Amino acid sequence: VLNSHPEWKLERVIGLGEYFNLIGLIIGTDNIGSCLNFFSFCTFLYVAYTYTADNKSNILLFYLILTTPLFLFLIPNQKPQLYGVCAIIISLLAGLTLKRLSLSRSIVIFGAIFFAISLKYQFYLSGVICIMILLFVHRKNIFLNIFYCILLYVVLILPQHLMKIDLYGNPIAPMLS
């Protein structure tokens, strides 16, 4: 049974990312969030290197990303910020460079965006904008892609909304509070 405590204001912003950290604490590690951040950063570097065509651009992009001081803060951090950003950027990059989306690619690309949205409520706006851009770019299969989006919403985000409606009366608490 879930209990809500009105004095716990930060309880309202919990998303899937905080549950990953909680699972890490339950299994006895306190750095699962930073491991996920590091893995997503390595994946982002690989995808960014793969999807750019020019070799000189690849080297410049690689050095530009690695010399950004912001990553020194985000990688060892426990907050689910970097892997949400990487999921949105990678899916947008892949969705814009591919001419046609197959069934598995559509599910993976839209699934990554919905995963990022489920991590923290701060990703709602950027995730919805990326979904609209990808639906517009791949409008040939728009009804199938909308079906995938509805299915992914039901699996990844609807349980959190139902929990927040039950606890606070607001599906996207604390946004409308």
User: Which among 84, 94, 86, 91 is positioned nearest to 115, based on CA atoms?
Assistant: 84
pLDDT in tens, the chain (177 residues): 456 665 555 566 677 888 888 888 888 888 888 888 889 888 888 887 777 666 666 677 667 677 777 777 777 888 888 888 889 988 988 888 888 888 899 999 999 999 999 988 888 899 999 999 999 999 999 999 999 999 999 999 999 888 888 877 778 766 666
Within 8 A by CB and 6+ apart from 116, the residues are 83, 84, 85, 87, 88, 123, 126, 127
Q: What is the CA 80 to chain-centroid distance, rounded?
A: 9
Predicted TM-score (pTM) of this structure: 0.82
Q: Which two tokens stand for residue 171?
A: 């599906």
User: Which among 152, 138, 129 is positioned nearest to 95, based on CA atoms?
Assistant: 138
Q: What's the CA gap between 113 and 86, in Å, rounded?
A: 10
Residue 1: the pLDDT is: 45
